[in-house]
Amino acid sequence: MQPDGYFNYNGKLYKNEKSVISVSNRSFRYGDGCFETLKMLNGKICLHTMHLERLFVSLQQLHFNRPNYFITDAFQEQVLEVAKKNHHKKAARVRITIARGDGGLYDPENDFPNYVIQTWDLNSANNRLNENGLVVGIHTDARKINDAFSHIKSNNYLCYAMAAYWAKENKLNDALVLNAQGNVADTTIANVFIVQNGVIKTPALTEGCVGGIMRKYLLKCLREENIPVEETTISPDDVLNASEVFFTNTIFGIKWVKEVNDVHYKTQTAPLLYEKFIAPLWNQ
């Protein structure tokens, strides 16, 4: 976002340099909150109903008191207002951040979901399948806990932040993040899929992965087309022995992986899935 851009805080527009979060904010102190990343194309939010349903379920699970005006249409209008103010008309990445207010660990002032809506200009390359496969490593220092909250896009993002630092230091495009049992959860910014013996597999939510919207959408499409797919446990060895690996997220849809830990892959499934299920989303 440009330095002179705008963001929305609790329904009002402010310039980017405006400070709205205090040092006593519980999200700043404890990561008490969640966020949602959306993709806007030509004034429309892709899969917006699924995104906002997930956000509202997260609010409920995190014990926020959701106001009556927190409805899908209202949120969508505010997102589009910020994008328009920032001149992001064709394509934008949108982030909605939810944070509880001030207070200590046992004494929050209230459970109101303060929200920030931001938009960034989105490169058109994110509307195409990647030409060059991703080069990825397996990060082993930080582990993702698989519990009742692990599927939420939490503001407590430390394990992903450290994995991203590691990937950057090692000149990698991304890093696989493992769970406490040493199995694959997801990556720093995406869900993981592999192809093994003709079956498409992805870590189950119980493995600690974020409940990605593109993951959910793709699983729905695969099952409707009777394409073999499993939500299961995937070990690092499963990834290294797979015939194909690809990632999904809201912004790029699908990206195919060329290499994980010096193991090379070809790609056949990812382009087919992209053309059949993802490209039509971008062209609606």
Which distant-in-sequence residues (6+ apart) come within 8 Å of 109 by Cβ?
Answer: 101, 102, 103
User: Distance between CA 83 and CA 40 in Å, rounded?
Assistant: 9
**What is the model's pLDDT at position 152?**
97
**What is the model's pLDDT at position 1?**
43
- CATH 3.20.10.10 in the chain is located at 134-282
**What is the model's pLDDT at position 232?**
98
Which distant-in-sequence residues (6+ apart) come within 8 Å of 31 by Cβ?
Answer: 154, 155, 156, 157, 158
Residue 252's Cβ-side half-sphere holds a number of Cα atoms within 13 Å equal to: 18
Protein fold of 6-122: D-amino Acid Aminotransferase; Chain A, domain 1 (3.30.470)
**What is the model's pLDDT at position 2?**
55
- Low-confidence stretches of the chain (pLDDT < 50) are 1
**What is the model's pLDDT at position 146?**
93
Please state, in angstroms and as integers, the Cα–Cα distance from residue 25 to each residue in 13, 104, 108, 152, 159, following that order: 20, 9, 9, 20, 21
Structure tokens belonging to residue 227: 């394409």
In contact, 239 and 192? CB cutoff 8 Å: yes
The amino acid that residue 226 corresponds to is N
**What is the model's pLDDT at position 69?**
82
- CATH 3.30.470.10 in the chain is located at 6-122
In contact, 8 and 82? CB cutoff 8 Å: yes
Assess if CATH 3.20.10.10 describes domain 134-282: yes
User: Distance between CA 36 and CA 165 in Å, rounded?
Assistant: 22
pTM for the whole structure: 0.95
